[in-house]
Amino acid sequence: MGITLREWSQQWLEVYVKPVAKPSGYEHYYDNMYKHILPKLGDMPLKSLTTAVVQHFLNEESLHGNLRTGGALSAKSIKNMRVVLDVCCKRAVADGMMPANPVAATVYTHCRSKKHNIMSDSDQKVLEKWLFSDLSLNNAGIILALYSGMRLGEVCAARWGNYDAMSGTLHITQTVRRVMVDPAAEYGKRTELIFSSAKSDASERDLYLPEVLQGLLTVQYQRFESLFKRTPNTDDFIIYNTVGGVMDPDHLSSYWGDVLDGLGLPHVRFHDIRHTFATRAIEQGIDVATVAGLLGHADVTTTTHYYVHPRDASMRKAMAAVAPVGAVTHAWQNTRLFAPKSAEEKVPEAARRVHRRRKHIAECG
C-alpha cells in the first residue's frame, strides 16, 4: 500500500521543517497540514495522490473549508494550503517517496492585493487625546507603535539594552510572538512566547526616536523604578506588564481592539498602526527609500505596494491639479445648454467629410 500522506507529513515536519523554520513558520505549516489537509487526504497513500485528487480537494476547500462557518475560504487561504502541500510533495519526490509532484499542475484563484486600512486624521486625534490622558502600561505600547512604525512583536521585544538615551536611538534586533508548541498539551500549555531574530537583515535597524517617544521611554524607565523598586537592567523590557515581564503581543492586540470599541472608532488591526505611520510619512514628503528603512523593508517596492495608500483628499487634490491646458475658465457659461436641432449639428465639418467618403465607398462596393 505504501506510506500515507499522514505518515510522510509527520516525518517531513519533524525532519525538514522544524529544524530550520522559525517557530511561527513551523506553526503555519503545522496548522495548514493538520487542520485542513490531513483530515481530507491524510489516509491516502502518497502514490495515489494525483493532480485530479489534489485539485478536487482545493476546489472543495475553497467552497466549504472554513472551519468556523463551513463556508468558503479566501483565495489567500487556499494559496497558503497549496504552498504547504506543494513543498511537502516536492520533498517526497526528492526522497523517492512518490514519482511526481501532483500539486504543481493544480490551479487556483490568484489573490487580489489586500487593501490595508489606515486611521483617519480625526480618528487619530481622538485616539491620541485618550492615550496621553491615561498613560497606562498598555497605552505606552500603542504610543510606541504609533510614532515609530514598529511591528507589534518588535514593540513587545524591545529591551533597555537596545536603547541609547544619549542619542535617542532604539536598535531593533528581536521580535516576539505567541506560537503553538504542543497541540496535544493541556489547555494553557499549548503555546509559548517565542523570541526570534528580526524578520530580515533589513528589519534589524536603528530608529532615531522623536522627542515624544524619548519622553515616553523616560516615563517608562522611571515608572519601572517606582513599581519594582530597582533600576531596569539591559534585559528588562521597555514595554512591560504588571510584574515587569514581557508584554504578551496577543494581550496588547486584544486591548487595542477594546480601545477602539470604547472610543467608538472604526476597527483597524494593530498592524494597521504601521500602515498609518508609513502613509503619514509619505504624505509629509519623506522619500519612500527612507520610509522603507524606518519600517525595516529590504525592498522599497514592498513599502510602495503594501504600505503607502493615497487617501481621498490626496486624490481629490491631484485630480483638481490636472486642469485644462487652454484658457477655458468658466467655459460652460458660453456653451449651448440645449440639444442640437438635428443629429447633423453634432458632427464637426471634418467628420462629415469622412462620413460622406465612407458612404460613397460603400455605395461603389
Locate the domains of the chain by residue range: 5-94, 121-312
Question: Which residue do the cell numbers 533597555 mark?
Answer: 160
- Angle (CA) 62 64 69, round 5°: 120
Task: Give the CATH H-level superfamily of domain 121-312.
Answer: Intergrase catalytic core (1.10.443.10)
Lowest model confidence (mean pLDDT) among 71-80, 182-191, 228-237: 182-191
Residue 336 has pLDDT above 60, yes or no: no
Mean pLDDT throughout 151-160? 96
pLDDT at 50: 96
Counting Cβ atoms within 10 Å, is residue 326 exposed (0-12), middle (13-18) or buried (19+)?
exposed
pLDDT at 345: 46
Residue 202 has pLDDT above 80, yes or no: no
Q: Do domains 5-94 and 121-312 have the same CATH topology?
A: no
Lowest model confidence (mean pLDDT) among 107-121, 253-267, 326-340: 326-340
pLDDT at 282: 83
Lowest model confidence (mean pLDDT) among 33-37, 188-192, 206-210, 337-341: 337-341
Mean pLDDT throughout 252-277? 94
Instruction: Kindly state the percentage of the chain with pLDDT values over 90.
Output: 56
pLDDT at 22: 79
Give, in order, the Cα–Cα distances in Å from 222 to each of 141, 214, 239, 344, 361: 16, 13, 13, 84, 91
96 near 45, Cβ under 8 Å? no
Q: What is the pTM of this model?
A: 0.70
CATH number for the domain running over 5-94: 1.10.150
pLDDT at 28: 87
Residue 285 has pLDDT above 50, yes or no: yes
pLDDT at 360: 56
pLDDT at 246: 96
Instruction: Kindly state the percentage of the chain with pLDDT values over 70.
Output: 78
Query: Which of the pair, 176 or 351, is modelled with greater confidence?
Result: 176
What would the pLDDT profile of 27-41 be if each residue is shown by its tens digit?
889 989 999 999 999
pLDDT at 99: 94
Query: Which of the pair, 319 or 146, is modelled with greater confidence?
Result: 146
Residue 263 has pLDDT above 60, yes or no: yes
295 near 303, Cβ under 8 Å? yes
Q: How far apart are CA 270 and CA 256, in angstroms?
A: 7
The three-state secondary structure class of 197 is strand
The single-letter DSSP state of residue 159 is B
Mean pLDDT throughout 280-300? 83
Q: How far apart are CA 23 and CA 21, in angstroms?
A: 6
| Average predicted confidence (pLDDT) for the chain | 84
pLDDT at 292: 84
Mean pLDDT throughout 353-365? 58
For helices 137-146 and 272-283, angle between their N-to-C axes, nearest 10 degrees: 40
What would the pLDDT profile of 159-169 be if each residue is shown by its tens digit?
999 999 999 99
Mean pLDDT throughout 320-347? 54
